[in-house]
Structure 1
Amino acid sequence: MPLPHAVSQDAAESPKPTTGASTSSAPTDELGQYLAQNPAPEIVEVLLPDTHGVLRGKWIPGGAAAKIWKDGVAIPSSIFGLDIWGREVMETGIHIETGDKDGLCWPVPGTLKSVPWALRPSAQVLLSMSEPDGTPWVLDPRHRLAEQIARLKALGYTPCVAFELEFYLMKQAPGPDGVPEPVFATKGSGPARQNMYSMSDLDAYAGLLHEVREAARIQGLPADTVISEAAPGQYEVNLYHRADPMAAADDAILLRRLIDGVARKHGLRASFMAKPFLEFAGSGMHVHVSLLNRAGANAFGAPGTGDVLLGEAAAGLLATMADTALFYVPSYNGFRRLVPGSYAPTGISWGYDNRSVAVRVPNGPPKARRLEHRIAGADAHPHLVLAAILAGMLEGIEKHLVPPAPLTGNAYEASAPRLTYSMRKATANFAKSDFVERAFGAEFRRVYAVMKEAEVAAFEQRINPLEYETYL
């Protein structure tokens, strides 16, 4: 992912109206421009990413679309207190005990797009939530990311960001044993086919993959390289970098929706589960970040100062990694991905051109110098992942932290501190973290931790089939 030039910046910052209704003509102009260039949609899907990155929202009749920009969309603010199954987590304290009040959601400029895989003419638009008086809702992850972007801009830096997303294409129906099956066979008389970087695996599903690329073009998502990855039926789509970090996170969350929609249209299922198969590679979300200075040049590539700045940013990421691991690995299943030899990191480490470390500095000329953060699973919330990365980099830059020596060779055999393999331990680290409180606020830390504690408990309170097979 070279970074010589940035993709044009979109106005993707969440709007912050000072009253309950939008006072700018720009949003209405966006709808008007859309209708001038596209058939009138029968519905407009308004999409609000919840705390887990699950898209929630409503279908609005196309004829009533103007109200989205004029009046906003009322959605219960308690949507940010739902667990991964969409159930209320009462311990958050933001549900019926508050009267289950509404937040007011406003469309994110630049995100009104056609939905090319839909069965009927449809459009979609991202939302962000505010209080009725226009105050950004404290539990909306979008606003937490906006704060980190603003902090870096106050120092004279603009993050330039790109996401890489891995996923499996699977058959709609599970196999005879109830386990999902990828589109390519995993069992036979010989070893399972890994077929990394296989052109034939791309050709086998060329129709679907080309439709993904075309849908991305229609929606303005900067899809770049497509790769057949390290397991049967596993693919990766890279997004081109943006000098608009909020838009980059929007790209990632909308690309997941796009791939899922196109796969369903083809009678398949796209899964972003972090570790669907123990015997094969998990699916990650790698994030590339450089910092542009006020002149628009890559500050990491500046002679003399660039290496120091990059080292400080890497040191901050390492220093905050244990506290923020729950953002990168937010699911019970995700911790199964962090195993030695898997190309998913297991240690708190960094290095140059080394895919076994957590924070990698890819090869390239100074103008493309960047950090690649390799911990997050493909199921993580892009806005929270990026917010934690930027907050960690800020910690290192503001405190002038010095990183340990970069690792060479196999990081799985190094003595670097280990990332926890336990969601319960990661949740405990998060819940008591002073850094998380400083960067994200006490209320966000509390609510997120409470929801993840409930999620861990739901898994720990189940007896798995092997226990019955062994002990019954």
Structure 2
Amino acid sequence: MPLPEAVNPVTATEPENDPLHDEFGAYVAAHGAPEIVEVLLPDTHGVLRGKWIPGGAGAKIWGDGVAIPLSIFGLDIWGREVEETGVHIETGDRDGICRPVPGTLKPVPWSPRPAAQVMLSMYEPNALSGEIPWELDPRHRLAMQLERLAARGLYPCVAFELEFYLLKPAPGPGGVPEPVFPASGNGPARQNMYSMSDLDAYAGLLHDIREAARIQGLPADTVISEAAPGQYEVNLYHRTDALAAADDAILLRRLIDGVARKHGVRASFMPKPFLDFAGSGMHVHVSLTDRDGHNAFGAGEAGDRLLRHGAAGLLATMADTALLYVPSYNGFRRLVPGSYAPTSVSWGYDNRAVAVRVPNGPAKARRLEHRIAGADAHPHLVLAAILAGMLEGIEKELEPPPPLTGNAYEQEAPRLSYDMGEAIAAFARSDFVARAFGAEYQRVFAIMKQAELAAFERRINPLEYETYL
């Protein structure tokens, strides 16, 4: 659904033929010199790693790049080395060269001191070409799918929707945080979908999120009070630059977290923080445009056929790629019936109980909404898996089963796995994943997630102590 591109105030005044390193000079001219530049490298899990670099040395980032070990993409969710990946000391723990992602140099309005931030992408030094994309960097895995689509004359138009909870700080180490309860006077904690009073209760924080997004040039759209106390959703406008759309989602999560901390609360993108309340998802809307920028899904019968092929590919590859959409132990708790999170390999028209939804709207806005991913998933990997799945269906001209209508939770359809171990096994043995992401990425990602699962399985659940002691 192509919409006007959001204008980035940092780069909008730059001449198109300026060298990339002039981006920092343009920033200084527009915003003044920062005291520090926060360089941000999203790791395999979407966790931001990086450094603070003095603002006086900022221009070197665009010249020499930033040296960070290649093995940063072999860390687990807690930031520990997973030795079984074989990408750590066994290789000498070599440095990669991280380059700034164009358009991501932005002010940090929640910082107590003048600061800028820029996202990085990793490259591997190479004797022949100087440097090549590091194969374990998720951003490059997404770029590979975009190249495949472009070869067919197709270009994604993408928007992300992010759900999150506002939480009171946890009461000490190991304490369980509580959701903030908007003071509406309407009884106990409850579902209060689309409540204006819940927006009003935290209007100061939510307006600061919108203002920070404006300052950073992030294309934030609607803010919604969601299905649980203290749960909200921020939507991003559609972008015809799919890499930028995924970058926006990464940066929006950081922005929401930073603004929330400044207000004395925490923002959590944990998929299922409370068993009694709805989980938090990351929905992705995708259409495909042709070389002239027209929505290929809206092109009459041919567009309908293309959309069906894309939906069929998503269904056919869903079990193999579930680990990319639901990459955490907690994320599988979100996939429960009646929760508006999908539980089956299904699709349908204007149906929020299915995994792949075709929203209502005019032909020029025809798109697929992918509803499986948890709010903690890596946007680049999620989008790469979606596009690879759609390509599988388009290239093989797959046809989907009949679309589901009504309550999909009560209808016959293949079930999504509720078990992280099953998802890891399906991912690790998948020929499709090996073709779409490369065998090395498949191997390393599966090893890291298996180690993560083992860490959770080694912990004793508090209910066990309550029951048996």
TM-score, normalization: structure 1? 0.94
- Cα deviation for residue 470 of structure 1 reads 1.2
Q: How many residues align?
A: 457
Q: Which structure 2 residues correspond to residues 119-134 of structure 1 after superposition, within 5 A?
A: 119-132=112-125, 133-134=130-131
Contact 2:2 2:293 in 1 (8 A): no
The question of 1:205 aligning with 2:205 is answered no
State the one-letter code of the partner of 1:318. L
Does the C-alpha gap of structure 1 residues 52 and 388 become closer, same or farther in structure 2, counting only changes over 3 Å?
A: same
State the one-letter code of the partner of 1:76. P
Match of 1:428 among 425, 429, 433: 425
- Alignment correspondent of 2:371: 374
State the one-letter code of the partner of 1:257. R
Contact 2:181 2:189 in 1 (8 A): no
- Alignment correspondent of 1:47: 40
State the one-letter code of the partner of 2:57. A
- Alignment correspondent of 1:169: 166
The question of 1:364 aligning with 2:361 is answered yes
The question of 1:68 aligning with 2:61 is answered yes
Match of 2:148 among 134, 148, 151: 151
- Cα deviation for residue 39 of structure 1 reads 1.7
Q: Structure 2: how far apart are the matches of 1:50 and 1:149? A: 20
Q: Structure 2: how far apart are the matches of 1:45 and 1:57? A: 7
Once the two structures are superposed, what CA deviation does each residue of 1:334-391 show, in whole Å capped at 9, x if it has no partner?
Answer: 0000000000000000000000000000000000000000000000000000000000
- Alignment correspondent of 1:407: 404
Q: Structure 2: how far apart are the matches of 1:349 and 1:328? A: 15
Q: Structure 1: how far apart are the matches of 2:102 and 2:398? A: 37
The question of 1:59 aligning with 2:52 is answered yes
- Alignment correspondent of 1:108: 101
- Cα deviation for residue 175 of structure 1 reads 9.1
- Alignment correspondent of 2:385: 388
Q: Structure 1: how far apart are the matches of 2:154 and 2:144? A: 13
The question of 1:277 aligning with 2:268 is answered no
- Cα deviation for residue 295 of structure 1 reads 1.0
- Cα deviation for residue 177 of structure 1 reads 9.7
Once the two structures are superposed, what CA deviation does each residue of 1:96-121 show, in whole Å capped at 9, x if it has no partner?
Answer: 11111100000011111100000100
- Alignment correspondent of 2:13: none
- Cα deviation for residue 254 of structure 1 reads 0.2
Q: Structure 1: how far apart are the matches of 2:83 and 2:435? A: 25
The question of 1:86 aligning with 2:79 is answered yes
The question of 1:214 aligning with 2:207 is answered no
Contact 1:9 1:244 in 2 (8 A): no
Q: Structure 1: how far apart are the matches of 2:154 and 2:227? A: 35
Does the C-alpha gap of structure 1 residues 327 and 77 become closer, same or farther in structure 2, counting only changes over 3 Å?
A: same
The question of 1:451 aligning with 2:448 is answered yes
- Alignment correspondent of 2:254: 257
Q: Structure 2: how far apart are the matches of 1:175 and 1:101? A: 38
- Cα deviation for residue 176 of structure 1 reads 12
Once the two structures are superposed, what CA deviation does each residue of 1:120-141 show, in whole Å capped at 9, x if it has no partner?
Answer: 0000000000012211000000
Q: Structure 2: how far apart are the matches of 1:147 and 1:373? A: 20
Q: Structure 1: how far apart are the matches of 2:224 and 2:187? A: 24
- Alignment correspondent of 1:32: 25
Q: Structure 1: how far apart are the matches of 2:276 and 2:297? A: 38
State the one-letter code of the partner of 1:42. E
Q: Matched residue of 1:451: which SS?
A: helix
Q: Which structure 2 residues correspond to residues 330-349 of structure 1 after superposition, within 5 A?
A: 330-349=327-346
Match of 1:304 among 286, 301, 313: 301
Q: Matched residue of 1:124: which SS?
A: strand
- Cα deviation for residue 193 of structure 1 reads 2.2
- Bigger mean CA offset, 423-432 vs 191-200: 191-200
Contact 1:114 1:124 in 2 (8 A): yes
- Alignment correspondent of 2:92: 99
Once the two structures are superposed, what CA deviation does each residue of 1:250-282 show, in whole Å capped at 9, x if it has no partner?
Answer: 000000000000000001100000000000000
Q: Matched residue of 1:404: which SS?
A: coil
- Alignment correspondent of 2:323: 326
- Alignment correspondent of 1:18: none
State the one-letter code of the partner of 1:45. E
Contact 2:6 2:217 in 1 (8 A): no
Q: Matched residue of 2:113: which SS?
A: coil
Q: Structure 2: how far apart are the matches of 1:405 and 1:174? A: 50
- Cα deviation for residue 399 of structure 1 reads 0.4
Q: Structure 2: how far apart are the matches of 1:50 and 1:9? A: 27
Q: Matched residue of 2:364: which SS?
A: helix
- Alignment correspondent of 2:460: 463
State the one-letter code of the partner of 1:262. V
- Cα deviation for residue 173 of structure 1 reads 3.1
Q: Structure 1: how far apart are the matches of 2:400 and 2:461? A: 42
- Alignment correspondent of 1:7: 5
- Alignment correspondent of 1:438: 435
Contact 1:41 1:122 in 2 (8 A): yes
Does the C-alpha gap of structure 1 residues 48 and 176 become closer, same or farther in structure 2, counting only changes over 3 Å?
A: closer
Q: Structure 1: how far apart are the matches of 2:106 and 2:173? A: 40
- Cα deviation for residue 4 of structure 1 reads 5.0
Contact 1:129 1:137 in 2 (8 A): yes
Q: Structure 2: how far apart are the matches of 1:176 and 1:429? A: 36
Does the C-alpha gap of structure 1 residues 164 and 189 become closer, same or farther in structure 2, counting only changes over 3 Å?
A: closer
- Alignment correspondent of 1:238: 235
Q: Structure 1: how far apart are the matches of 2:7 and 2:363? A: 22
State the one-letter code of the partner of 1:308. R
Once the two structures are superposed, what CA deviation does each residue of 1:126-175 show, in whole Å capped at 9, x if it has no partner?
Answer: 00000122110000000000000111111011100000000000112349
Q: Structure 1: how far apart are the matches of 2:371 and 2:280? A: 11
Any unmatched runs of 5+ in structure 2?
A: 9-16
State the one-letter code of the partner of 1:123. A
